[in-house]
Homo-oligomer: A and B are copies of this chain.
Amino acid sequence: MSKNKAIVLLSGGLDSTTTLYYAKDKGYQCHALIFDYGQRHKRELKSAVVVAKSAHVPHHVIRITLPWKGSSLLDKKIEIPIRKSLKGIPSTYVPARNTIFLSFAVSYAEVIGAKTIFIGANAVDFSGYPDCRPSFYEAFQKVIKEGTKDKKIKVLTPLIDMTKAQIIALAMKLKAPLSLTWSCYLGGRKPCGICDSCKLRGKGFSQLGIRDII
């Protein structure tokens, strides 16, 4: 049954949660990978664990202690930017984050014999991170082919061309528990509503004409 095993990268946000439910719906036997990489708050991480449990999939939390920061998502001394336009790469960019996450996913996939890795990257309603674009995933696919024993593990990005509204609509169709997810770059009890991530989420719900259910 290993041909149906999949690793799903799970951050606890809207996109990765939808991706997990999408993979489950497609019949994959999912294994969630969650990363504690020194985020400025643990709210998202808690959501990831709760989502994995609600989806009844096994999960691992990988703890990574980076001796460097270089991102406002890691360094509390740098303020989270409030941007009018989403052009350019903001300070919330975490250098090589998805490369690190995928590397662990590939390692895990090889060990348990999973042939598929799902990541909820999106290059439409996104913050401009280079490691969310299709060309990055095409390049990473080549790394798997050249650098692993099991050359055939595929990285799938089912949400990459969707708008946030389309992702939310898909999540609702799949009954993904969006109320358990956390998208805000800041911690706290309620989402700030004005960071890039909150804005993108808000735009998606408002395009659908419905209220966010967080």
* A residues at B contact (CB < 8 Å): 60, 62-70, 89, 93-100, 102-104, 106-108, 110-112, 130-131, 133, 135-136, 138-140, 142-143, 145-149, 151
Chain B contacts of A97 at CB under 8 A?
107
- Determine whether the beta carbon of B103 is less than 8 Å from that of A149: no
Main secondary structure of the interface of A (DSSP, over half): helix
Query: Oligomeric state, in number of copies?
Result: 2
Residues of chain B lying within 8 A (CB to CB) of residue A143: 99, 136, 139-140, 143
| Closest B residue, CB atoms, query A101 | B103
Q: When chains A and B are docked, how far (Å) is the Cα of A66 from the Cα of B93?
A: 25
Q: In the assembled complex, which residues on chain B have CB atoms less than 8 Å from the CB atom of A70?
A: 107, 110-111
Could you tell me if B108 and A148 are in contact, using CB atoms closer than 8 angstroms? Answer: no
B67 and A112 contacting across the interface, CB-CB below 8 Å: no
B145 touches A139 (CB 8 A): yes
Interface contact B146-A66, CB-CB below 8 Å:
no
Whether A62 contacts B65 by the Cβ 8 Å rule is: yes
Contact A147 B96 (CB under 8 A): yes
Known contacts A130-B149, A143-B139, A147-B140; A96/B107 CB under 8 A: yes
Once the chains are docked, how many angstroms separate the CA of A149 from the CA of B107? 25
Nearest Cβ in chain B — how far from A139, in angstroms? 4
What residue of chain B has the Cβ atom nearest to residue A113's Cβ?
B70
Chain B residue, CB-CB nearest to A60: B67
Choose one: B64, B95, B136, B142; the contact of A110 (CB below 8 Å): B95
Closest 8 CB pairs of A and B: A70-B111, A95-B110, A96-B107, A131-B147, A136-B147, A139-B142, A100-B103, A99-B103
Query: Can you name 23 A-B pairs with beta carbons within 8 Å?
Result: A62-B66, A66-B104, A68-B111, A68-B112, A69-B111, A70-B110, A89-B149, A94-B107, A95-B107, A95-B149, A96-B103, A96-B106, A96-B107, A96-B148, A97-B107, A99-B147, A100-B103, A130-B149, A133-B146, A139-B142, A139-B143, A139-B147, A142-B142
Interface-centre pick from A60, A89, A94, A104 (highest chain B CB count, 10 A): A104
In the complex, the answer to whether A63 meets B62 with C-beta atoms within 8 Å is no
